[in-house]
Structure 1
Amino acid sequence: MRERGRRRRLLGLGARTGGAMIRSRLGGQADWRTLGEALFEGLSELKGPAMKLAQFMAQWDDLLPPDLADELARLQCQAEPMPWPRIREVLVAQYGELDRLFTDIETAPFASASMGQVHRATTREGVRVVLKVQYPGLPEVLESDLAQVRYMMRLGRWLKVPQVRLDALFEELAQSLRGELDYHAEARALARYRRRYADRDWLVIPEPLESLCGPHVLAMRHVAGTPLRELEVASDDLRQRLAMHLADWLTEELFTHGELHADPHAGNFASDAEGRLIVYDLGAVIPVPPARLKAMLALLDAALDQDPMAMDTALRRLGGRQGEGAPLALYRESAEAIAPLFASGPQDFSDVRVHRRLRELSPRVWAAMDRLQPPADTLLLSRTLNGHYWNLVRLGARLDMHERSRPLLKWARSD
């Protein structure tokens, strides 16, 4: 009965979303604010894959209608927590009698998200820890939810997205979500990243506590910090230092280790009292092959050269851009929109003129989707990079992207 009710609610939310998309596609008016409120309320309660998908969408706030983007963004930090008794069931199933291991577990979550929530605790040895607890029954409902998500993704046909591309996008999403349920894999990722960056005194990766980790609970040593989303009022010096750390870390991740932290919402990053960058969550790490990096940099190179034909060629080589009639004017305007960020010298990521221009282009991007067809196997990577970009925007970063990109573009041009 519960599964049928969940399915009905997901289908109802999907129908409302589809109706708004269809009205917008046909030139009508869609009430995006009301839709966003309904999605927030419904998905916050249901959690799971559909909520995760909405969180992904929230990071495309340069493409989504502003009212919808604002409401979906609330899912990043205001999701309704699951009641403590149900969370306690998961803890007891893993540990048995809790008093045997812990002197205290906070019943109010430190953070709640789509696939689990975090509670602070103290061990019998006096170690302060955080317990990332997977929502009960989530593995059982995952495949059912994914089936509903696949159904809702059929709405992409209204944007003239071929079914084969929708299927590829779904498989990438499904693989990512299934991977997030593997807490043993996340514990290994935390340990790997701690070894990898042991000599970076500006980066903090929490220590997994192997003896307390299990299939549905991930235990880490507690690292106190101020979440990135709360740093907008911090000093400019601190924000610039964190922005530099974040940019340096992402560059090393991609171009030295061929990996990328793929869950970039602001709650996963923080600053400690010493101004170091903390990375809390490594549940989603994706490999990034050098060939894919070079192909994406070729597209950036063409955009910086203001060369629409080269942009079209690069997008085709990436596996995108179907059909006839390259949208050259759209390429040209997109290249002009991002050009200020790559001008010589430090550029302000919080410059609203850039964001306003990208947002103004978004209706034309959707209208040209039947020809653009971004490659499905790079969508997660593109969404991730976009999310990290918006974290830099939140920090008000001033970075010299011209200087940073020069050696990377040179590397991409090499054989």
Structure 2
Amino acid sequence: MRQSGRTRRMLGLSARTGSTLLRSRIGGKADWQALGESLFEGLSELKGPAMKIAQVMSQWDDLLPPALAEELARLQKDAAPAPWAEIKVALEAELGDLDALFDEIEPEPFASASMGQVHRARTRDGRTLVLKVQYPGLDRVLEQDLVQVRRLLRLGRWLKVSQARLDALFDELADGLRRELDYRAEADALERYRRRYADHPDLVMPQPVKELSGPRVLAMEYLPGTPLRDLEGADDTLRQRVSRTLADWITEELFTHHELHADPHAGNFAVDEQGRLVVYDLGAVIAVPRERLAGLVALLGATLDGDPMAMDEAVRGLGGRQGEGAPLALYRESAEAVSPLFAPGEQDFGDVRVHRRLRELSPRVWGALDRLQPPAGMLLLARTLNGHYWNLVRLEGRLDMHSRSAQLLDAYAV
């Protein structure tokens, strides 16, 4: 699609989103499913940063209207692939003569996403690899797309989000998208994580093949596995093992290494025949400073104590409050909704009563955005933690979150 047509398409999607938000804001009937269908169809074709942001939004299952969340979630696994002819041109531009390097590259991708798609290949020396190929020309359209994304984010002013906060959110999104365009950084992250977890019995990442990689192509060893999203209904012992591995890994990343793999959608994870958790995509890794972790632990402690005033102090410390009038009743109800997951003993993330109650609170959260503001620099972290919460829900994990949280609260006690 030519850039002018792409811009017109994005403007149309922005206008439709804005009109739906406005109807909802003034008390009218908003057709969230129709909006979601339009966004899926348009963004699946456009790909790029706008689609990536829609994927980010889809992982806030408990904040979006259910019909909209369900449609946007399709972008995680049903995005239309780019034609093989375009992908082949991109591969040749990066690697040169493909016949000299590969016996075969499968034209049909086995995964397609917002910024690129993945093809299986066999090298001349017999290795089976996967090639993650960036969509051609994505670097050229990124900045133009970001102009439209900024316009779309301005709709947040209708929800009483300050312009300064919207600008900070945009900057965080834009910086993350620009970093994801350089696949050499992802190759470096893969090597770092493989060294870090080399002795972990239940965690594995693919080895990057740097001689067949570049800024827009990442070659990796092929690690087959069952996608995390396909484990619903699988053997309970396996699901509990994977749940523990996932929770332990997130905790170690955050509180030992102070960084986090920040793209939690279920398509980035699988389980191999040995029951190990396979992590495929390290295109988004963020640093998480200790002081930010301390703020989150303080909020968790105040929540588990059921102390609305302390919750407000912690939210202010994270930069997530402005104006007068702390929403103390909302804090109190949020604490009551979350606390059961942290009760002594194993708690069942598959218990729909917990996340149903969280979802029921979402209109109250939107209604309090004149006081509760998105903290600057927290978007990707919050999105990741929320995404993994839903990964644990899908796995129906049973975890002793009381013991886990007690250790963190003790470690960060003032």
The reply on whether 1:181 has 2:181 as its aligned counterpart is: yes
The reply on whether 1:135 has 2:135 as its aligned counterpart is: yes
The reply on whether 1:260 has 2:260 as its aligned counterpart is: yes
1:142 Cα deviation from its structure 2 partner: 0.4
Aligned positions of 1:137-286 closer than 5 A? 137-286=137-286
Match of 1:63 in 2: 63
SS of residue matched to 2:358: helix
The reply on whether 1:392 has 2:386 as its aligned counterpart is: no
Q: Distance in 1 between matches of 2:378 and 2:294?
A: 12
Note the aligned Cα RMSD (angstroms): 0.8
> For each residue in 1:304-346, what CA deviation from the matched residue of structure 2 results, as whole angstroms up to 9, or x when unmatched?
0000010001100111111111110000000000011000000
Amino acid in the other structure paired with 1:20: T
Number of residue pairs matched by the alignment: 414
Q: Distance in 2 between matches of 1:35 and 1:143?
A: 25
Q: Distance in 2 between matches of 1:95 and 1:60?
A: 38
Q: Distance in 1 between matches of 2:389 and 2:183?
A: 27
1:282 Cα deviation from its structure 2 partner: 0.2
Match of 2:109 in 1: 109
Match of 1:305 in 2: 305
SS of residue matched to 1:193: helix
Match of 2:95 in 1: 95
1:110 Cα deviation from its structure 2 partner: 1.1
Q: Distance in 2 between matches of 1:359 and 1:29?
A: 19
> For each residue in 1:228-260, what CA deviation from the matched residue of structure 2 results, as whole angstroms up to 9, or x when unmatched?
011112100100000000001111000110010
Match of 1:118 in 2: 118
Q: Distance in 1 between matches of 2:19 and 2:412?
A: 43
Q: Provide structure 2 residue ranges, at least 5 long, that are not aligned to the other structure.
A: none
Match of 2:375 in 1: 375
1:355 Cα deviation from its structure 2 partner: 1.1
Tell me whether 233-242 or 370-379 shows the greater mean CA deviation. 370-379
Q: Distance in 1 between matches of 2:374 and 2:413?
A: 22
Aligned positions of 1:79-90 closer than 5 A? 79-90=79-90
Amino acid in the other structure paired with 1:101: L
Match of 1:47 in 2: 47
1:214 Cα deviation from its structure 2 partner: 0.7
Amino acid in the other structure paired with 1:140: R
The reply on whether 1:34 has 2:34 as its aligned counterpart is: yes
Q: Distance in 1 between matches of 2:47 and 2:411?
A: 42
Q: Distance in 2 between matches of 1:24 and 1:412?
A: 41
SS of residue matched to 1:370: coil
SS of residue matched to 1:79: coil
Q: Distance in 1 between matches of 2:25 and 2:312?
A: 24
Match of 2:25 in 1: 25
Q: Distance in 1 between matches of 2:338 and 2:39?
A: 31
Amino acid in the other structure paired with 2:234: A
SS of residue matched to 1:214: coil
Q: Distance in 2 between matches of 1:224 and 1:380?
A: 28
1:374 Cα deviation from its structure 2 partner: 2.6
1:77 Cα deviation from its structure 2 partner: 0.5
Match of 2:72 in 1: 72
1:376 Cα deviation from its structure 2 partner: 2.2
Find runs of 4+ consecutive structure 1 residues off by over 6 angstroms.
none
Match of 1:411 in 2: 411
The reply on whether 1:13 has 2:22 as its aligned counterpart is: no
Q: Distance in 1 between matches of 2:334 and 2:174?
A: 30
SS of residue matched to 1:130: strand
Match of 2:332 in 1: 332
Amino acid in the other structure paired with 2:350: S
Amino acid in the other structure paired with 2:322: Q
What TM-score results when the alignment is normalised by the length of structure 2? 0.99
1:168 Cα deviation from its structure 2 partner: 0.3
1:25 Cα deviation from its structure 2 partner: 1.0
What TM-score results when the alignment is normalised by the length of structure 1? 0.99
1:27 Cα deviation from its structure 2 partner: 1.1
Q: Distance in 2 between matches of 1:169 and 1:309?
A: 26
SS of residue matched to 2:356: helix
> For each residue in 1:342-388, what CA deviation from the matched residue of structure 2 results, as whole angstroms up to 9, or x when unmatched?
00000010111111111111111101111111312112211111011
> For each residue in 1:53-88, what CA deviation from the matched residue of structure 2 results, as whole angstroms up to 9, or x when unmatched?
000000001010000000000000000000100000
Q: Distance in 2 between matches of 1:81 and 1:409?
A: 45
